[in-house]
Amino acid sequence: MNATQRLHDLGQSLWLDNITRSLLTSGTLARYIKDFAVTGLTSNPTIFEHAIGKSDAYDEAIRRHAGEGASGEALFFELALEDLTRAADLFRPAFDASGGVDGWVSLEVSPLLADDGARTIAAAARLHARAARPNLFIKIPGTPAGITAIEESIFAGVPINVTLLFSRAQYLAAAQAYLRGIERRIAAGRDARVASVASLFVSRWDVAARELTTPGLRNRIGIAVATQTYRAYRELLASPRWHTLAAAGAQTQRLLWASTGTKDPGAPDTLYVEALAAPETINTIPEKTLAAFADHGQVKQVLALEGGDSEAVLAECRREGVDDDALAQRLQREGADAFSTSWRALLDGIQAKSEALAPSGAP
């Protein structure tokens, strides 16, 4: 039994943090499902920027959709939905076997809407309806405007992957939005079962803190924040409020570890996967990390329910002058800005390809 299967048996889902057309057409994603117990997939604007911009695999589809009059965001979402609905179908057996807990893929709304709650709500509903797949999450960032959109989308019955969370406080804000949305559905006589996950980004903490702290804290802060957040997650699941919703049929909003590829070349390439093994969670990882963990990863211990040494690590961080609350807010804003930059580059690249692929003499 390889390490990926051991994680699955522990109760942690392993999802792939990547999507390309060649992953689908080559049978690679199907192999990951079969051999590495991969049961879901996440995408984001940066992933699609690389997938479309650095490959000719989308050229025929770009030519076809552009010829039908599609351009800009509309053309991108045609391409993305072609990939993600196909991936969703590959994961449908895992979705059905788990009763809708696992087997999901994710599509992000335009990151340019990060501060526009009303347009985010409309975009989430529209994209989910177009996908017509029960196992497709719409990703909404956990920004202040996004929190409102998350609650409203859950109330409307749209499954949501809350992205760009960087702290326990940001996670709890997203979890509260999810709970409010479900409570409103119950009060309105609607089905309480609407799926959601909350994605906490981990390794970006260590990249940001590397120049701010002494070597003794290197590659420890992200795991400390994750451990602290995991404790809050388990406490929420033990609360009377959650038990009331669960009794009404609500589904757990599982905690998802994102940004778990090792950024420090001097650290183990399976660092965050091994450190964050925990039941009732998800770890979404890049292909390189998946291959490394399948080859030589180990499931050594389960994440501490009581938070381990997370508070001590963060206290030491503060003594060195790092304001972790302020840094969490900065990381969220930088993450949103980075996705916006990728989004614009993605649309520019699609436009350039559309023009290059247009038949001679076409407008």
Q: From residue 168, how far is each of 73, 172, 175, 199, 220 by CA, in Å?
A: 33, 6, 10, 11, 16
- Please enumerate in sequence order all residues whose Cβ is within 8 A of that of 24, keeping only pairs 6 or more positions apart, or say none: 83, 86, 87, 90
Catalytic residue among 54, 139, 288, 300: 139
Inter-axis angle of helices 3-10 and 287-296, nearest 10: 100
Is 139 one of the catalytic residues? yes
Q: Do residues 278 and 257 touch, judged by C-beta distance below 8 A? A: no
Q: Do residues 261 and 284 touch, judged by C-beta distance below 8 A? A: no
Q: Largest alpha-carbon pair distance within the chain?
A: 67
- Which of the 8 DSSP states describes residue 194? -
Angle at 259 between CA 255 and CA 261, to 5 degrees: 125
* CA 77 distance to own-chain centroid: 18
The residues carrying an active-site annotation are: 139
